[in-house]
C-alpha cells in the first residue's frame, strides 16, 4: 500500500488546515442538537489520530488499540469515583495510565513482527477486558462504572445537559493533540517512523534505532488513546466494557481506513463520515448498517486504498492534469 | 482424593473435546496462513456458516444428523472456493494491513447476514437420540456426544495427516509451504492448489463449527467472539504445520476448561498470559518454521 504523507520539508500550516477548526466552531453554533454527537466524534478523532500515528506512520498493525483507550477511560472513571472529580487531573491520570501501559506492553511486544505482533496486541486487549470484567469492585464489571460526578473544568465551566461545555472541552483537547501529532509527523522523528514503515531492514542498516523509535511512538499513541478514553468517560460520565472490546478496535480501524491511513486529516474525515452515517442509518437498519460497513471495508481495500481523502486527491490530480 | 480424581478426569475429557473442536476449526487457518501467507481473520465465519447450515438442515428440513454434517462441509467448502477465486486471490500479494481489513470487513458482513437470517439468539441444537445419554466407561459416565466428538475428530485428523504426509497432493502442499517460488518452478499449479486447500480448510472449519455447535453456541457474534481462540491456536502452534496447532489446541482446550472449572475467578487469564509468554519466547510459534 502506498501511504500518502511522510517527511515534508515545509511544515508550515497551510490555509486549508484551518478548515476543520472553523467547521467545528460553526457546527457548535449552527447545530446545537448535534453537539453531543459532535463531542463523541471529536473524541473518536483523537483516538483515530493516535492509531494513525502508529499504524499509518509507524506501520504497526494492531488489533488491540482499544486496550489503551479503555485503560484511559477506566483510569479516569476510577479516579473520579475514588479520588476527585476534577476533570483536568482526571485527564492526566487517564493519559498517564494508558501511556504507562503502552510503554510496558510496547517494550515487550514490539520485539516481534507480523502475525506474532498482531496476536500479542489482540491478547493484551483480551487480557485488559478480562481484568475489567473480573475486577468488579473497581470497574463495576459488566454493569459498567457510573455514578461519579465530574466537577466544573478549572472550577469555572460546568458540564451542562446540552453538552456544550463537553464539546468545547473535547475540541480544545483535540486541538492540542493535533498540534502534537503534526509536530511529530513533520519532525525528523516522524520521518524515521515513516522510514521504518517503508523499509524496516534498511532503517536497521543505516543505523536508526528502530526499536526505540517504535516504542516511543507506541507510548505516545497509547497515551493519546488513553486521553481520548478519559474524555469519553468525563463527557458521558460512564465507562462500560465496550471501551475495551475488539469490536471498538475494529470500528476504529474502519474509521481510519475510510478517511485515509497515514495522513493526519484521514483521522478527521473518517470518524466524522462514519459516525454521522451511523447516526442516520444504524438506528433504523442496524443489520444493514453492519453489512454496509463490512462491504465498504472490502470495497475500500479492493478499489480505494487511500480512503475518502485518497479519492479526493486522485480527483484533484485528474482535474489538474487535464489540458485546459 | 476420589473427588479430585473424578474432576480431573472430567476436566481432561471435556478439555479434550473442546480442544479437538478448536483444532478441527483452526487447522485450515494454519494451512492457509502458512501456505498463502494470508492473514484470514474471517476464518471463524466458515465455522459459523457450517453450524448454521447443519442446524437449519436438521431443524427446518428434518435432515438426519450425518447428512446435515456432510452438507455443512460441502456447502461451505464450495462457497469458500468461490470467495477465494473472486476476492481472496486478489489480495495474496497485498500487504498485511489490507488482508486484515478485508477479512474484518467479511466478518462484519457475515455477522449482519447471520443476524438478518437467524436473529441474534443462539440456535437450538437437537442431537439425534443415539448420541444422547451417557456411556459407561471404566466405572464412570461420559456424555455420549462428547465421546463421539472426540472419536470423530481424531479420525478426521488422522485422515488429514495421512493426506498431507502420504499423498501427492500433500507433497505439493508441503512443497508450496516450504518454498513457493521453487514449487511453481517445478510445475506445481499453485493457484489451483491454493483454491483446493482453501476450500478444504474452510470445509474443515465448517465441520468443526457444526460438530461443536453444542459446545460453542452458534450465534451471529461467533466470528468475533472466538476469533482470539482460533488465532491463538495457530499463532502458538506455528504457521503451516499440522502438529503445532494440534498440540496448541489440546493445551488450550484442557487449560481453558481447567481454569474455568477450578479457578473461575481467573477466567481466561491463563490462556492469554500463556499466549503472550509463548509468543515472546518463540515468535514463530511452538512448531513454526524459524523466521528466515
In a domain, A169, yes or no: yes
pLDDT in tens, A250-294: 889 889 988 888 888 989 999 998 998 888 887 777 778 888 888
- According to the model, what pLDDT value does residue A10 have? 65
Q: Which residues contact A307 (CB under 8 A, 6 or more apart)?
A: A256, A257, A258, A259, A260, A261, A266, A269, A270, A300
Mean pLDDT of chain B: 87
Contacts of A123 in chain B (CB under 8 A): 228, 232, 272, 275-276, 279
pTM recorded for the entire structure? 0.86
Q: Is residue A4 part of a domain?
A: no
Chain B CB contacts of A257 below 8 Å? 101
Quote the domain boundaries for residue A241.
15-321
What was the pLDDT predicted at B289?
A: 65
pLDDT of A28 > 70? The answer is yes
Let me know if residue A286 belongs to a domain.
yes
Q: Judge whether A132 lies within some domain.
A: yes
Classify B208 as helix, strand or coil.
Answer: helix
Tell me how far apart the alpha carbons of residues B4 and B13 are, in angstroms, rounded to a whole number.
14
From first to last of its 292 residues, what are the pLDDT tens digits of chain B?
778 888 888 888 889 999 999 999 998 888 888 877 788 899 999 999 999 999 999 988 888 999 999 999 999 999 999 999 888 888 888 888 888 889 989 998 999 999 989 988 888 888 888 888 787 777 777 888 889 999 999 999 899 989 888 999 889 988 888 888 898 899 988 888 888 989 999 999 999 999 998 888 898 888 888 888 898 898 888 887 788 899 999 999 998 888 888 887 776 788 888 888 888 888 888 887 654 3
Residue-wise pLDDT for A201-212, tens only, equals 898 899 889 999
> Long-range pairs for A176-180 at CB < 8 Å and ≥24 separation?
A177/A46, A177/A49, A177/A50, A177/A224, A177/A227, A178/A49, A178/A264, A180/A220, A180/A224
**Three-state secondary-structure class, residue B7:** helix
* B116 vs A304, higher pLDDT: B116
Angle between helix A246-259 and A266-281 (nearest 10): 120
The verdict on A104 touching B (C-beta cutoff 8 Å) is no
Measured between alpha carbons, how far is B79 from A11 in angstroms, rounded to an integer? 51
Q: Determine the residue of chain A that is closest to B39 in CA distance.
A: A115
Grid coordinates of B165? 504426509
Closest C-alpha among A67, A119, A113, A121 to residue B248: A119
Q: Give residue A2's pLDDT.
A: 40
Max mean pLDDT among A155-169, A231-245, B30-44, B275-289 falls in A231-245
Mean pLDDT in chain A?
87
Q: Check CB contact under 8 Å for B108 and A250.
A: yes
End-to-end CA distance of chain B: 50
Q: Give the range with max mean pLDDT: A98-107, A163-172, B188-197.
A: A98-107
Distance to chain B for A165, nearest Cα, Å: 35
A290 contacts on B by Cβ (under 8 Å): 108-109, 111-112, 115
Instruction: Name which residue leads in pLDDT, A124 or A304.
Output: A124
- Using an 8 Å CB-CB cutoff, list chain B residues near A298: 87, 102, 105-106, 109
Give the H or E element holding residue A96: helix A87-109
Tell whether A129 is within 8 A of chain B (Cβ): no
Q: Answer yes or no: do A119 and B269 touch at CB < 8 A.
A: no
SS3 A41: helix
Per-residue pLDDT band at A72 (split at 50, 70, 90): very high
Q: What is the pLDDT of residues A189-228, one digit of tens each?
A: 888 888 888 888 898 899 889 999 999 999 999 999 999 9
- Amino acid B43: pLDDT: 92
Q: Which helix (H) or strand (E) holds A239?
A: strand A238-239
| pLDDT at residue number B194 | 86
CA-CA-CA-CA torsion sign (B65, B147, B120, B88):
negative
**H or E element: which one contains B204?**
helix B190-211
Q: In a mutagenesis test of the A interface, which of B94, B105, B263 is the best target, namely the one with the most A β-carbons within 10 Å?
A: B105
| C-alpha distance from A134 to closest chain B C-alpha (Å) | 7
- Please tell me the predicted confidence (pLDDT) of residue A196: 87
Structural domains of chain A, count:
1
What is the per-residue pLDDT for B76?
Answer: 96
Domain chopping of chain B, boundaries: 8-220
Tell whether A256 is covered by a domain. Answer: yes
Residue A242 maps to which CATH number? 1.10.3470
Residue A9 banded pLDDT, cuts 50, 70, 90? low
At residue A149, the 3 state secondary structure works out as coil
The helix, strand and coil proportions of chain A, stated in percent and rounded to the nearest 5, come to 75, 0, 25
pLDDT for res B292: 38
As given in the structure block, the three cell numbers for residue A110 are 514490539
Cell reading at A304:
480505494
Q: What is the pLDDT of residue A6?
A: 47
Structure confidence by residue, pLDDT tens digits, A130-148: 889 888 888 888 888 888 8
Test B104 with A116 for CB contact under 8 angstroms: no
CA distance B91 to chain A (A): 8
Query: CB-CB: which of A113, A288, A295 is closest to B105?
Result: A295
CB-based contact B43:B26 (threshold 8 Å): yes
Residue A304: pLDDT over 80: no
Residue A7 lies in a domain: no
pLDDT band at A4 (very low <50, low <70, confident <90, very high): very low
Supply the pLDDT for residue A89: 93
> Which residues 278-307 on chain A approach chain B with CB closer than 8 angstroms?
287-291, 293-298, 300-302, 305
Q: Provide the β-strand partners of residue A238.
A: A146
Whether the CB of B33 is below 8 Å from some CB of chain A: the reply is yes
**Model pLDDT for residues B50-101, shown as the tens digit of each residue:** 999 999 999 888 889 999 999 999 999 999 999 998 888 888 888 888 888 8
Choose among B291, B262, B292, B258: nearest CA to B274: B258
For chain B, say whether A10 makes contact (Cβ under 8 Å): no
Amino acid at each position: 500500500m502506498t501511504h500518502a504523507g511522510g517527511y515534508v520539508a515545509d511544515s508550515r500550516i497551510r490555509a486549508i488546515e484551518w478548515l476543520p477548526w472553523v467547521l467545528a466552531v460553526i457546527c457548535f453554533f449552527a447545530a446545537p442538537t448535534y453537539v453531543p454527537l459532535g463531542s463523541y466524534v471529536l473524541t473518536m478523532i483523537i483516538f483515530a489520530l493516535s492509531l494513525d500515528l502508529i499504524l499509518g506512520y509507524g506501520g504497526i498493525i494492531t488489533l488491540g488499540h482499544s486496550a489503551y483507550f479503555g485503560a484511559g477511560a477506566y483510569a479516569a472513571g476510577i479516579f473520579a469515583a475514588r479520588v476527585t472529580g476534577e476533570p483536568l487531573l482526571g485527564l492526566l491520570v487517564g493519559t498517564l495510565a494508558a501511556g504507562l501501559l503502552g510503554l510496558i506492553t510496547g517494550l515487550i511486544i514490539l520485539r516481534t513482527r507480523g502475525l506474532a505482533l498482531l496476536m500479542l496486541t489482540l491478547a493484551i486487549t483480551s487480557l485488559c477486558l478480562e481484568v475489567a470484567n473480573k475486577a468488579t469492585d473497581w470497574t463495576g464489571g459488566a454493569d459498567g462504572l457510573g455514578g461519579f460526578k465530574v466537577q466544573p473544568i478549572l472550577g469555572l465551566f460546568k458540564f451542562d445537559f446540552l453538552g456544550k461545555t463537553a464539546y468545547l472541552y473535547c475540541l480544545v483537547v483535540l486541538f492540542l493533540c493535533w498540534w502534537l501529532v503534526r509536530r511529530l509527523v513533520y519532525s525528523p522523528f516522524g520521518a524515521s517512523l515513516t522510514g521504518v514503515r517503508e523499509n524496516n531492514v534498511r532503517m536497521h542498516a543505516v543505523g536508526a534505532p528502530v526499536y526505540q523509535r517504535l516504542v516511543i511512538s507506541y507510548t505516545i499513541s497509547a497515551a493519546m488513546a488513553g486521553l481520548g478514553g478519559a474524555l469519553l468517560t468525563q463527557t458521558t460520565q460512564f465507562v462500560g466494557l465496550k471501551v475495551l472490546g475488539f469490536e471498538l478496535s475494529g470500528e476504529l480501524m474502519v474509521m481510519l481506513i475510510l478517511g485515509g491511513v497515514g495522513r493526519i486529516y484521514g483521522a478527521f474525515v473518517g470518524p466524522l463520515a462514519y459516525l454521522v452515517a451511523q447516526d442516520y442509518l444504524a438506528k433504523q437498519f442496524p443489520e444493514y448498517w453492519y453489512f454496509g460497513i463490512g462491504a465498504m471495508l472490502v470495497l475500500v481495500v479492493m478499489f480505494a486504498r487511500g480512503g475518502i481523502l485518497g479519492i479526493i486527491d486522485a480527483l484533484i490530480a485528474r482535474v489538474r492534469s487535464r489540458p485546459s | 482424593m476420589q473427588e479430585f480424581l473424578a474432576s480431573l478426569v472430567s476436566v481432561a475429557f471435556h478439555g479434550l473435546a473442546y480442544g479437538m473442536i478448536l483444532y478441527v476449526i483452526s487447522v485450515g487457518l494454519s494451512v492457509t496462513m502458512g501456505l498463502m501467507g494470508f492473514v484470514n481473520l474471517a476464518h471463524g465465519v466458515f465455522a459459523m456458516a457450517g453450524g448454521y447450515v447443519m442446524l437449519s438442515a436438521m431443524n427446518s428440513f428434518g435432515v438426519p444428523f450425518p447428512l446435515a454434517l456432510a452438507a455443512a462441509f460441502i456447502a461451505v467448502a464450495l462457497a469458500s472456493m468461490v470467495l477465494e477465486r473472486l476476492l481472496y486471490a486478489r489480495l495474496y500479494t497485498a500487504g498485511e494491513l489490507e488482508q486484515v481489513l478485508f477479512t474484518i470487513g467479511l466478518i462484519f458482513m457475515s455477522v449482519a447476514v447471520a443476524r438478518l437470517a437467524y436473529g441474534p439468539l443462539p440456535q437450538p441444537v437437537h442431537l439425534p437420540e443415539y448420541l444422547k445419554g451417557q456411556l459407561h466407561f471404566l466405572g464412570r459416565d461420559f456424555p455420549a456426544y462428547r465421546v463421539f466428538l472426540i472419536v470423530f475428530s481424531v479420525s478426521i485428523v488422522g485422515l488429514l495427516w495421512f493426506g498431507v504426509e502420504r499423498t501427492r497432493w500433500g507433497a505439493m502442499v508441503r512443497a508450496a509451504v516450504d518454498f513457493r517460488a521453487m514449487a511453481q518452478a517445478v510445475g506445481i499449479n499453485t493457484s489451483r492448489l491454493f483454491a483446493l486447500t482453501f476450500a478444504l480448510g474452510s470445509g474443515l472449519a465448517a465441520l468443526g463449527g457444526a460438530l461443536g455447535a453444542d459446545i460453542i453456541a452458534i450465534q451471529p457474534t461467533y466470528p468475533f467472539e472466538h476469533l482470539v481462540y482460533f488465532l491463538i491456536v495457530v499463532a502458538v502452534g506455528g504457521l503451516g504445520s499440522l502438529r503445532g496447532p494440534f498440540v496448541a489446541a489440546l493445551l488450550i482446550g484442557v487449560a481453558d476448561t481447567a481454569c474455568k472449572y477450578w479457578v473461575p475467578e481467573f477466567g481466561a487469564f491463563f490462556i492469554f498470559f500463556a499466549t503472550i509468554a509463548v509468543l515472546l519466547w518463540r515468535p514463530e510459534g511452538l512448531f513454526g518454521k524459524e523466521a528466515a
